[in-house]
Chain A
């Protein structure tokens, strides 16, 4: 982690301290960790184990798939149930977080 990023982190934390932000600074990291048992730590799934990796996927793709799962318009064995656990805002946060992880 370089200095620039640390500075940006601090900026982000300051931003988060605004009115909308009673949220823990690591809220999204923690939320994303609920997906890791299936999609891998930080979204890096074990290659060849049949689970879809999420790390470094396009943010829009992740978000739209989660919306489709939630709406029941995308075929699923399990994600239609899991996706209902998260709000629009949380889906946005999750998609941004996984998109920002290294593949």
Chain B
């Protein structure tokens, strides 16, 4: 909190421009009840910042089915055996300390007219504004053999961190030396563009250290690596020659579950461990909310407030949104969505227009082995003419080369962003 002297110093330094953070909390006129559905990177951040920035004047309920937050970022290191699930698990108690009412329940539906949300166990709750941040759900229709729960327990996605992450780790531990691990990658857009390439890299690193005769095959539906291409391909060439076999334009059509075989248009690839990242769309609750979806998949939002373009009072965050240009579906971005939405909602609840100049930043750190990391970063600002966020010219880039310094930064980033959302 500012003391008076610092405050006046700040005021002097920025005279003429309204920049007084620290003020905002005390001065908030916002009142009301915001219900947040989904306690991942987007929803948890929004819930905390609504409380922080309203100085507690706005009531916030967070509905989340899981009892703990488990991070997708860093989860590939659990799969490679370099981290444990406990290392990427965070409690929701921190949000309770902020005064967020955390309810572990599932949402059955939302009524934008009546402004109510129906819960599986907890009945109906009213809201003034709702935030939906459910992440992605999978388009199993596009991988028909994997529609059943039974098939999904054998051929894993591990694209939502939790039991699937641990199960995939177990499959890799059980793999005999000389075995084949194959990963299928859907056409972009999907959650976490560099995630599949990080996964094959750290699994190749595990093989190199522990099962050197084993192979990694990547079946990518895309024509080329979709993120940090130069840095990933360099790592595969230099570190994993003879281990990583990357195949572009290899779209999955279906799976032969019993034989752990990926069925492509002209080819079949048999593996000992087959890992399918299915095509994705906005989480079910978004699809059910009546919010407009582009191609039936991603929610179109007003980027000043993250409010659905048609479902009034419903703000949609994170992976579920139809991304702005060059904006990845990442945990970092979901955090930024959460803050822009929280700020906009507090303005709206106080009868004011949202901030007309929102900014968002993104960074994705990826491990190429247990010790070396590469990043991609960008700063995005709202463009009033284009009505979307664009990358600020010049403000983007990737690591000069893979390096150990950024491995420390990547872990530090994870700890800070978890605290930023949940502590």
Contacts and interface: CB of A to CB of B under 8 A. Distances in A.
Given A49-B416, A84-B392, A78 B363 contact: yes
Interface string B383-397: 000000000101111
Interface stretch (B118-126, B294-302, B354-362): B354-362
Contacts of A102: 1-2
Given A24-B355, A97-B10, A78 B21 contact: no
Interface in A32-57: 32-42, 45-46, 49-51
Nearest to B20: A12
A65 interface: no
B203 interface: no
Nearest to B28: A26
B19 to A, nearest CB: 4
A16 B18 contact: yes
A15 interface: yes
A96 B14 contact: yes
Interface stretch (B206-214, B279-287, B333-341): B333-341
Given A28-B19, A32-B21, A77 B392 contact: no
The main secondary structure of chain A at its interface with chain B is: helix
Interface residues of A, number: 61
Nearest to B407: A50
Contacts of A13: 18, 20, 23, 27
Contact of A38 (B53, B363, B394): B363
A29 B17 contact: no
Contact of B415 (A46, A84, A100): A46
B364 to A, nearest CB: 11
Contacts of A6: 23, 26-27
Contacts of B8: 8
Contacts of B53: 26, 29
B359 A85 contact: yes
Give the interface size class of chain B: 35 or more
Of A5, A13, A42, A99, most B-chain CB atoms within 10 Å: A5
A50 B359 contact: no
Nearest to A36: B420
Interface stretch (B246-254, B269-277, B398-406): B398-406
A86 B382 CA distance: 13
A97 B375 contact: no
Contact of B14 (A10, A24, A81, A93): A93
Contacts of B263: none
B395 A99 contact: no
B6 A100 contact: yes
A34 to B, nearest CB: 4
Contacts of A33: 49, 336, 339, 343
B340 A30 contact: yes
A78 B399 CA distance: 7
Interface in A1-18: 1-2, 4-6, 8-13, 15-16, 18
Contact of B9 (A22, A38, A50, A100): A100
A82 interface: yes
Interface of A: 1-2, 4-6, 8-13, 15-16, 18, 20-42, 45-46, 49-51, 59, 77-78, 80-86, 89, 92-93, 96-97, 99-102
16 contacts: A12-B20, A21-B17, A31-B359, A33-B49, A36-B420, A37-B416, A40-B416, A49-B411, A77-B409, A78-B375, A85-B380, A93-B17, A96-B13, A97-B19, A100-B21, A100-B22
Given A8-B7, A28-B19, A29-B21, 5 more contacts: A12-B23, A30-B340, A30-B358, A37-B335, A82-B395
